[in-house]
Structure 1
Amino acid sequence: MGAAAPPPGRASVARAAVRPGTSGFGSDDEGSFGGGRSVKGKDKSKAAKRRRRTNILTAAAAVVVILLGAGVVGGTYFFDDVDLPPPVSEDQSNVILDSTGAVMAKLGDQNRTVVPEAKINKIVEHAVAAAEDKNYYKHHGIDMKGIVRAAWNNFTGGATQGASTITQQYARHAAELKDISINRKLREAVIARKLESKYNKDQIMGMYLNYIYLGQGRYGIEAAAQGYFGKSVMTPAGQKNAITPYEAAVLAGIIKQPEPSESHQGYDPTVNPTAAKERWEYTMANMLEMGWISKDVYDKRKYPTPKQAGKAKVKSTANKPVGMVMRHVQAELAEMGISEDQFKKGGLTVTTTIDPVVQKAAEEAGSRKSEESPMNGKPATYQAAVIGIDPKTGRVLGYYAGDDPDGLDYGGYLSGDGKKIIGGQSPGSTFKIYTLAAGLKEDISFKTTWDGTKLRPNGTKISNAGADPGAVCKGKIKFCDLETATIKSYNFPFYWIADAIGRDKVIAAARDAGVRHMFTDDGKMVDLKKTDKSTWEKTGYFDNEVAFGQYRVVPLEHAEGVATIVGNGVHHDAHFIKSVTRVDPETGKKTVVGSEKTEGKEVFDPDQMSNLQSVLKEIVRVDDRDLRGGQQSIAKSGTWEFKEGSGDTWFVGGMPQLAATVWVGGAKDKVELKESNGRDMFGAGTPSKIWKKFLDAVIKAKDLQNEDFPKRVETGNPDSPFANGQEPPPPPARDDNDDNEGGDCVLGVIGPDCNQNNNGGNNGGENNGGGDNNGGDNNGGNDGGGDDGGGDDGGGAPENTPETQLPTINPTIQPQN
């Protein structure tokens, strides 16, 4: 073969294979479909002689027919059934940008950017004509000499040949004429004539330049100019970074044979510089001959140095964590009505919501590969996800869901094709934010009290992760107030809230906040937007344990719900796309074909949210996770059991500028999570450290000014009929003869009773193991145990309690039923 076929999937640019230094149309042109005439021993039999005479006569007749252009090609168009195909809409790459406009990736089957002909620098068009068809602007689309030569060779047993004009090359592509025959050649000629009758030379040149393949996976002249020289062909001549005549000649020379073959290494200047330079000299000489460059420009010619393959400065998401965003981009494009075929066709510019600063902070906080991450040094079986959402718009600003962009999506559990959700994780006590939102909506106050000794209807206890009942709520287990229970993350009030107001209202609150899918214990995924109470309360679906996070959810959807709480009860759909534009290849005008919807919907009362936020602020303080510079923040920790320890651990919340959700669990399969000191991992351990590192890094990098949450408005009825707390015992009788009205704490300063309130409560006292910061033992129970230093539930659900006998969900991923 005189010209190598492009790599698989690439459109072939079939044309005459012209040796460097020849005219391209002379007798020495061997054609792109053969390396010369076939050499055969002459058959001297009478039959062979008759065949040769017949071939000669037939060939002569064909040549006569072809040469009667006015009667055949020019008049009847070689049978009226030869239709003129429409101009081909070339496949392009899709450009993916971050929120700042920087290129993240180019996606699509072909690296092509279609550009309008009117904007292409004329020196590029002239260079291509000089290299491929120097008489392009003089003829009417057909090379008669080439057709005659091809006809003669085909009918006399010689090699099939090409020698096509630029118009014929494009005609062959537009009509998909792939066979090698005289019939194809004649049809090609007819279509070329029709093209020249309908379009002018500039239009045909524009279609051709957007079609041609120029090596290294680059389709079209713009991709080639960017790839080889880092320039655009649309930069006007004379301006900075415009393509020079010398660079244009290099690009034009590649067209002849862009890829190596067995017989020739082609004309890619980075692969075969010697042949490429010879081809460049040939092109430059033709440009001078045709008057497209001056003698002075020609005399001063200097061969330009192209960029080596792989040295382009375009960013790529390949093998980078941010690449996981691409499957969410594809899913949202489908939701916008942009089909898979349209995406493959390319030409889209997708501006994502990803903020490079927030993305970097998420990756450095969550990836085991980051030396700065609390995950660094953890076993390879451990995995984290870090999601940052703007609570004011729903934009996903940072998304770390694993190091392998082609692997499992630990943030959204979205399949590789972006078409379905394949799993989720148990949120543990972080789900209590929705139970509280539902309770506040039913006028339940944080001052209501709840009985932690009350048994379930089936007679089983509600566990608080093994905490001593006598120590729960500082000994007030029978009349524990909801605020303390929230900060300490005791389970019993939440169970009874769901039981009293209806668990469907808890589920509805989660749905309204942004949680769309929830899994039953047997792995069935339930779409909360397409179902209601009649489904949720069926046997085998969701029990009251939903109130403290037994049932698995998608972390990204949970992050959307968390952003609603951080955003004062206004829900925004979490999304990865800001806008989608397409450039009209004819005019170069950009058209918006998709855009984000940032309008929010108030789903929870703002006063009730201020009430909830104020309580969640205390968890940040208790867990010693205050943010950089005193920035206000709210949080909730959560843990769900696995075997004898923890399987899913969470820390969620954020600041007014950014909602942050962190999950740590098993990679692929669940494992028992341990801290580096060997103790069980809880939400207020490693996940909370990741959460703080993530937000602190964003605050520092973006130099964010402090923002406060709204001031607390205490809402609800302290005497709510839903509450089941027992009446507290009367205070001990006071001895009227005792002059010390302060008991054993004189003036509230001196005496043994003065310490009774200073060492308990939320930070290192009872039920507060102290953890990494306070040195406590791993004996804390709900929200105070282990390494958490208070605030975490140590297990979230009724875990580690044999009397509960709830099913343990082993796999991280469950197939959708």
Structure 2
Amino acid sequence: MGRADARRAAGSGGIRRLFTWRKILGTFFGFCLLVMGAFAALYFYVDVPEANAQAQKQSNVYKYSDGSLLARTGSGVNREIVDLAVVPKKVQHAFVAAENKSFYRDQGVDLKGTTRGLLNTLSGKGKQGGSTITQQYVKNYYLTQDRTVTRKLKELVISLKVDQRMEKDDILAGYLNTVYYGRGANGIQAAAQAYYGVDAEDLDVSQGAYLAALLQAPSQYDWAYANKTGKKLVKDRWAYTLDNMVDEGWLTKSERAGLTFPVPESPRPAPGLDGQAGYLVEAANQEMARQGITEEMREAGGWTITLNIDKKKQKQLERSVEAELENQLDRKGSKTDATVQAGATSVDPKTGKVLALYGGVGATEHWVSNATRQDYQPASTFKPLVLASALENGAKTRNGERIGLDTVYDGTSKRPVVGSDTPFAPQNEDDISYTDPTVQTALNKSINSVFAQMVVDVTPSAVKKTALSLGVPDKNFPERPAITLGTMNASTWDMAGVYATLDNHGKKVTPAIVKSAEHRDRTMEPVDTIGGQVISRASADTVTKGMTGVVDNGSGHEANTPAYDAAGKTGTSEDNKSAWFAGYTPELTTVVALFGESTAEGGGQVSLTGTANSGRANGGGFPARIWADYTLEALGGGSDAAFDLEGVERGEAPVRRAPSTPPAQSPTPRETPTEEPEEPSESPSTPPAEESSPPATPSDTPSWTPSGTPTAPESPEEEQPPGERPQDQLPGSR
């Protein structure tokens, strides 16, 4: 053997000595031990972290009383976490069949799939793939979507630990609530709404299988956007999912054969806060705040808030405002029409539930809700409360006659009140004086002079006490005779509660818009809507009886119809800045108001006179017509329900004893008024003009007490400084 051969033999032997099977196996096992050791160290080093903030984000969901979706607000993530028990069992199984058939048997990881995913990541091949449901849950809930080896290793370790520590159902629930389905929907509840317009609990197995199939490629498999290939792929995966369910025993072959592909609905914009939705949401939020749910708690998300709002009545109220007001306005061409703001609140008087609410032209255009704002006066809608206080306190006129519907008062316009330290002499509408009007007539015609004297007879403090007990807010509420003109501030919401209490026979009604507010960690205590008896049934029912006359024969006749029994009161505030109609049937209480709001920067109250070229504003016009149109439709075209009135107090009706003033047989204006009335600006077809009071002036002539005995004014007024007038002599209130 030559030297060359010897060298080759020696080299070959050296290689064999270097790479013996023993050494190769030893190296392999050593590497395995090293990997196992590294993994063991990693296992003990990596702990289950806190959930990432994104996975915990939820929107707040607002619903109508029937459960249909009103709006979603909150974190910017369209997610509503639901318990697994809410999701039908077969829908749960559809997701398992599509994503991880061995889910209920495995240890939370798929080593083969994870290895493939790691190799794909190292080689830059995009999607990692191969993850179990547990791993996907861990990625979504605890980690990020980063495609790195470190993240993948953490996912593996955490998945093993999560599988050991959590029940399979809890893992599946977490997965269903965190995974992204497309269409901006995070979690199965949002997905069910986005694709099928139902809640997760109402999904059927066929729909569930589509949502499960969708997860592989949400954008490509969305039926609304998928091309021909995408539609074929998603139908194939849908079928694959159902076939796997049959294999696992979760679906019978006959059930499978009867299923057809459930084409999802077309995408719709997520319900936002435009239109009336914003006003409803804001009212609900305000009520939650009053019940202890702070803004911080609410903005954390995850609330499901069901409102008392009846969807049909809500839409009807919107249509009534549109038909009876907005269609008559020229907001672009008329400076007056541009200032008109409408608000309304409708309440069930037996339960206190707010059934409908109108806040304005739209919450994204005029965010201040005209239904709940408290910066305008309720005007003469306050007068029935004066009567209620008189009845409740057994008040008497100046000559000792008990006050009731038949009690006669002096209806002279600008008549100074008798018995008050604060002088007040309000003018009646059009400065008309009335001969011997009864309280019923004074209600029908809204005679200022009668109710001004009645406040004094009852005392302003007693009237205020009654009003507060009925629900008028204690806001800018003086104790002076002028309160008869509703000179305090109140909202349609407030006055709806007041009138609902009268409708409910004097039992306190507190309007509530939230039916329930639920969170996984807490719930809201509901508002106690029905309270105790704040005035007697006899007092409340007598006021109701009186206000039926307003609708039947008085300033509220636009609301009159044989289709239902109704009681109500009109009101127009100082300088026509607001116009109201507050009324009720035995089943429904609704208050409608118009407000004049300047369009100039900074706003401010302006007159409604000339709205839609209709002359002087009054509550018997647009507000009463809106009320009537809404009420008729809200009651389904009418109602046979009649007012159940008890103990109606007729009062005392003495004959006038003034020889120069014969008793009037009917409530008509005097033939010779004390002053020539102004010509009404309305056309002959407009309803009877309501009360108004331009600057009142104390009279030096004797005035008539309710008994008809001429008397001089009691206690001369203090001389007023030049240029000033008594505070209560407000112009234009009615």
Q: 1:275 is matched with which residue? A: 230
Tell me how far apart the structure 2 counterparts of residues 331 and 593 of structure 1 sit (CA, whole Å).
13
Asked if structure 1 preserves the Cα contact closer than 8 Å seen for 2:409 and 2:439, the reply is yes
From 594, 600, 606, the counterpart of 1:664: 594
SS at match of 1:218: coil
1:397 aligns with 2:355: yes
The counterpart of 2:497, out of the listed 535, 541, 560, is: 560
- Distance in 2, matches of 1:177 and 1:790, equals 71
Per-residue deviation at 1:102?
Answer: 4.7
CA–CA distance in 2 between the matches of 1:555 and 1:711? 29
**Letter paired with 2:449:** F
Residue 212 of structure 1: CA displacement? Answer: 0.6
Name the stretch that deviates more: 334-343 or 266-275: 334-343
Distance between the aligned counterparts of 1:302 and 1:484, measured in 2? Answer: 71
Which has the larger helix fraction?
Answer: 2
Q: Is 1:599 matched up with 2:530? A: yes
8 Å contact kept, 1:85–1:175: yes
| Corresponding position of 1:729 | 658
The answer on whether the counterparts of 2:101 and 2:244 sit within 8 Å (CA) in structure 1 is no
Question: Which residues in structure 2 correspond to 1:597-636 (within 5 Å)?
Answer: 597-620=528-551, 621-623=553-555, 624-625=557-558, 627-629=560-562, 631-636=564-569
- What is the distance in 1 between the residues matched to 2:444 and 2:199? 59
Determine whether 1:165 maps to 2:95.
no
- How much is the aligned-residue C-alpha RMSD, in angstroms? 4.8
Q: 1:307 aligns with which of 261, 264, 267?
A: 264
Mapping 1:193-592, distance limit 5 Å? 193-229=160-196, 242-244=204-206, 248=208, 250-259=210-219, 266-273=220-227, 274-275=229-230, 277-278=232-233, 281=236, 284=239, 291-292=247-248, 304=261, 306-310=263-267, 319-321=274-276, 324-340=279-295, 343=298, 348-367=303-322, 370=323, 373=324, 376-380=327-331, 381=338, 382-408=340-366, 414=372, 423-442=374-393, 443-444=395-396, 445-446=403-404, 447=407, 449=409, 452-454=414-416, 462-465=425-428, 467-468=430-431, 472-474=433-435, 482-499=439-456, 502-519=459-476, 543-580=480-517
AA in 2 matched with 1:252: A
Q: Distance in 2 between matches of 1:299 and 1:353?
A: 41
**Structure-2 separation of matches of 1:233 and 1:393:** 30
2:188 partner amino acid: I
Is contact 2:143-2:151 (8 Å) kept? no
The size of the alignment, in residue pairs, is 645
Is 1:792 matched up with 2:690?
Answer: yes
Counterpart position of 2:47: 82
Pick which of 391-400 and 492-501 moved more. 492-501
CA distance in 2, matches of 1:205, 1:580: 26
Give per-residue Cα distances to partners, 1:71-92, cap 9 Å, x unaligned: 454x555334623547998555
Whether the aligned pair in 2 keeps the contact of 1:115 and 1:210 (CA below 8 Å) is yes
Q: Is the 8 A contact 1:682 1:787 kept in 2?
A: no
Q: How many angstroms apart in 2 are the aligned matches of 1:393 and 1:270?
A: 44
Which runs of 5 or more structure 2 residues have no equivalent in the other structure?
1-26, 332-337, 397-402, 600-605, 699-722
Q: Which moved more, 1:604-613 or 1:137-146?
A: 137-146
**CA-CA distance at 1:311 after TM superposition:** 6.2
TM-score of the two chains, using structure 2 as the length reference: 0.73
Q: Alignment partner for residue 679 of structure 2, among 776, 779, 783?
A: 779
Alpha-carbon separation, structure 1, partners of 2:189 and 2:502: 47
1:648 Cα offset (Å): 1.2
Q: State the SS of the aligned residue for 2:530.
A: coil
- The verdict on how the C-alpha distance between 1:279 and 1:322 changes in structure 2, with shifts beyond 3 A counting, is closer
Residue aligning to 1:12: none
Out of 270-279 and 427-436, give the one that drifted further. Answer: 270-279
Greater Cα offset, 356-365 or 800-809: 800-809
Q: Structure 2 CA distance, aligned partners of 1:630 and 1:195?
A: 66
2:573 matched to which residue of 1?
640
Decide whether aligned partners of structure 1 residues 65 and 629 sit closer, same or farther in structure 2, where only a CA change above 3 A counts.
Answer: farther
Shift of 1:426: 1.6
SS in 1 for 2:579: strand
Shift of 1:604: 1.6
CA contact (8 A) 2:308 2:513 kept: yes
Percent of aligned pairs with the same amino acid:
24
Summarize deviations over 1:89-142 as a string: whole Å, max 9, x none: 855555544444555455555444545446655665565456545665564333
- Using the TM superposition, name which of 558-567 and 331-340 deviates more: 331-340
Go from structure 1 to structure 2 and tell me whether the alpha carbon gap of 1:144 and 1:68 turns closer, same or farther (over 3 Å shift).
farther
1:683 — aligned with what?
A: 619
Q: Residues 200 and 458 from structure 1, CA distance in 2 versus in 1: closer, same or farther, beyond 3 angstroms?
A: closer
1:661 positional shift = 1.5
- Kindly indicate whether the alpha-carbon contact (under 8 Å) linking 2:342 and 2:360 is maintained by their aligned counterparts in 1: yes
The one-letter amino acid paired with 2:592 is V
Matched, 1:654 2:654: no
Q: Does the 8 Å contact 1:454/1:461 carry over to 2? A: yes
Structure 2 counterpart SS, 1:215: coil
Q: Which amino acid aligns with 2:632?
A: D
Query: 2-side partners of 1:296 and 1:466: how far apart?
Result: 81
- Residue 458 of structure 1 deviates from its aligned partner by 9.8
- Which deviates more, 120-129 or 655-664? 120-129
SS in 2 for 1:399: strand
Aligned-pair distance for 1:601?
A: 2.0
Aligned-partner Cα distance in 2 for 1:667–1:233? 45
Question: 1:564-597: CA deviations, max 9, x gaps?
Answer: 233332211011123345689xxxxxx9754453
Structure 1 match to 2:610: 674
> Is the 8 Å Cα contact of residues 344 and 492 (structure 2) preserved in structure 1?
no
Cα distance in structure 2, aligned partners of 1:671 and 1:545: 20
**Contact persistence 2:503–2:586 (CA under 8 A):** yes
Instruction: Give the distance between the partners of 2:697 and 2:38, measured in 1 at CA.
Output: 90
Q: CA deviation at 1:455?
A: 7.1
* 1:30 match: none
Find the residue that maps to 2:43 and give its secondary structure.
coil
